[in-house]
Structure 1
């Protein structure tokens, strides 16, 4: 069972407590060198997964939100907190923005996230404003109505850059969401007087948000939308930003946008994962069906271990399913090798074994 925790509402954030079940052992694991918490500190598990969209083949999954994510839900639910990137507007209104791809989903998307054991989602990405600020307002309002926490967008910069903070067995954890994607960023960014996305290209504001969260919480998590689509190596821009966020006080940085798995490692004591790929995905032509659930284990405020549970996106349903046998080993080996171009320090010994 997921431990109950004390949520702390900031801005539009709202709490969620759910029951959890056991997960399958992961295939890739790495011990992170970090300053350790005092002896006897409680163990906390966080789970992260990549891009989620309810469109095309995955739209039909919302006919039954309780089963939309399928069997991977048990892996997500086993964590104390699970987080994904919800890459869609949640609206039936608005006008399409001047861009190639547009995605939107009904409010039942939030029911599906909750039923899967997901506790918080970043909406700082290049699709939340696909239907303009009317669509953004609906997306944020629907999350509030569903009592589902989102980060990374809001009625103004204060709301967009605000963290969701929750307390788990005495450790306060702050979750932030930023986007570094260039497309339409100047018109989509949140400002003091304009709704929008928390854009990391507004670097002083992003750094200040991490610093402020660090003063309020023991652990700061930043979920980034960054990188180059189709490129399994992080961009120089993403690597520079990771360093800035680590210096500002981020303990964990995870990312998505490239539609591929990217490498992990550390910058000092900060654990960085540059890309989690697609997760619950609308089409079979977006670079790769390899995916996984990243499990990060904390002891108090210290990051002790990071593990990727390898998974494959079903070509039929678009749902992620735990990888088995040769697929699990293949994905784990590929993931281990991705650190070479990530320019991150090794996180310790890694192992590959079947995912279940």
Structure 2
């Protein structure tokens, strides 16, 4: 986990300071630093030669049985945090508003969490979170603005939403070991998408339905960075196969310059592969989860990249335990998850190799 600096990316702004994972995290409540242009690389620092280890996991929130985990935020994720920390960059989806205010939206499931969620995320080794999902506005625009404000106060990076349309579609920009990385987040969930999309005067989450803007955001990120990651919120709940809508936007994002596309939302694991030179994982399932779900299968996706190329992909199986924490599995439980993933790969339409 790198120490965080930049919160929500703004198009055309510089990268954060790229502090190493060994540096202490900044104290909660410290104002966000002023962004500066990256320092010139040393002559031997060629990003195309650098190898980085990335980690991704699925949906996280603190409500129901998991809110009690925030009584001890530094251990909220349990032992699986060791896997998350063992990467140069770790990303998950934060499936909740972080607020104690707002008006509930007209929807069946409503999630919100206290600000100690950021302490738990940071302690687990998570560097940034997508909030481009169908729960970030569960408590309206007041709740979303609280989420953005509290993230800034905690100096914890979030992406995929913003105070206006420009901020919502902007990448989070960071530098890790000399490699400039841009991360963008989009939702492809239909419910309330019209009401939740951002405008020039209204906060909201970045929607993949605005295809031209989403593709343009990825193309712009490609011009700014050595590596472009897209974190999607998409899929059909309970289905281990990607829909045609998912495959279509994945192709468009790959064509625009995305190097990695990963996603969540279906509450079950989907599978991965290559779309040309772009690595795609259609669904990472639940990770730290409040209650019953369509599946308890979970895990951590670990990728090794060199330049823009994914040179190794590995999925570390886990299950969502009775506490809501993800727990690593082995033996027959691990084999069962790997067998399900092997079956799911048949419907991805992706190549097993580049």
TM-score (norm. length: structure 1):
0.88
Residues 192 and 4 of structure 1: is their aligned pair in 2 closer, same or farther, counting only changes over 3 Å?
closer
Question: How many Å separate the matches in 2 of 1:39 and 1:89?
Answer: 36
Counterpart residue number, 2:305: 298
Q: Can you list the C-alpha shifts for 1:49-85, whole angstroms capped at 9, x where unaligned?
A: 0000111110100011000000010000001010000
The RMSD of aligned alpha carbons is 2.1
Residues 8 and 127 of structure 1: is their aligned pair in 2 closer, same or farther, counting only changes over 3 Å?
closer
Counterpart residue number, 2:34: none
The structural deviation recorded for 1:208 is 0.6
The structural deviation recorded for 1:88 is 0.3
Task: Give the gaps of 5 or more residues in structure 1.
Answer: 21-37, 349-356
Higher relative contact order (CA 8 A, sep 6+): 1
* 8 A contact 2:4–2:127 mirrored in 1: no
Counterpart residue number, 1:233: 241
Match of 1:321 among 300, 305, 327: 327
Residues 111 and 312 of structure 1: is their aligned pair in 2 closer, same or farther, counting only changes over 3 Å?
same
Question: How many Å separate the matches in 2 of 1:79 and 1:113?
Answer: 14
The structural deviation recorded for 1:261 is 0.3
* 8 A contact 2:62–2:113 mirrored in 1: yes
TM-score (norm. length: structure 2):
0.88
Question: How many Å separate the matches in 1 of 2:69 and 2:213?
Answer: 38
The structural deviation recorded for 1:194 is 1.2
Match of 2:316 among 309, 323, 329: 309
Counterpart residue number, 1:24: none
Counterpart residue number, 1:92: 100
Counterpart residue number, 1:222: 230
Question: How many Å separate the matches in 1 of 2:120 and 2:176?
Answer: 23
2:262 is equivalent to residue 254 of structure 1: yes
Q: Can you list the C-alpha shifts for 1:285-321, whole angstroms capped at 9, x where unaligned?
A: 2111111100111012221111101111112x11001
Residues 112 and 4 of structure 1: is their aligned pair in 2 closer, same or farther, counting only changes over 3 Å?
closer
Counterpart residue number, 1:183: 191
Counterpart residue number, 1:76: 84
Partner of 1:308, secondary structure, is: strand
Residues 19 and 280 of structure 1: is their aligned pair in 2 closer, same or farther, counting only changes over 3 Å?
farther
Counterpart residue number, 1:10: 9
* 8 A contact 2:48–2:308 mirrored in 1: no
* 8 A contact 1:211–1:249 mirrored in 2: yes
The structural deviation recorded for 1:168 is 1.7
Partner of 2:340, secondary structure, is: helix
Question: How many Å separate the matches in 2 of 1:226 and 1:288?
Answer: 17
2:281 is equivalent to residue 282 of structure 1: no
Partner of 2:82, secondary structure, is: helix
Could you list the runs of 4 or more consecutive aligned residues of structure 1 that deviate by over 2 angstroms after TM superposition?
Answer: 2-20
Question: How many Å separate the matches in 2 of 1:39 and 1:91?
Answer: 39
Question: How many Å separate the matches in 1 of 2:125 and 2:5?
Answer: 17
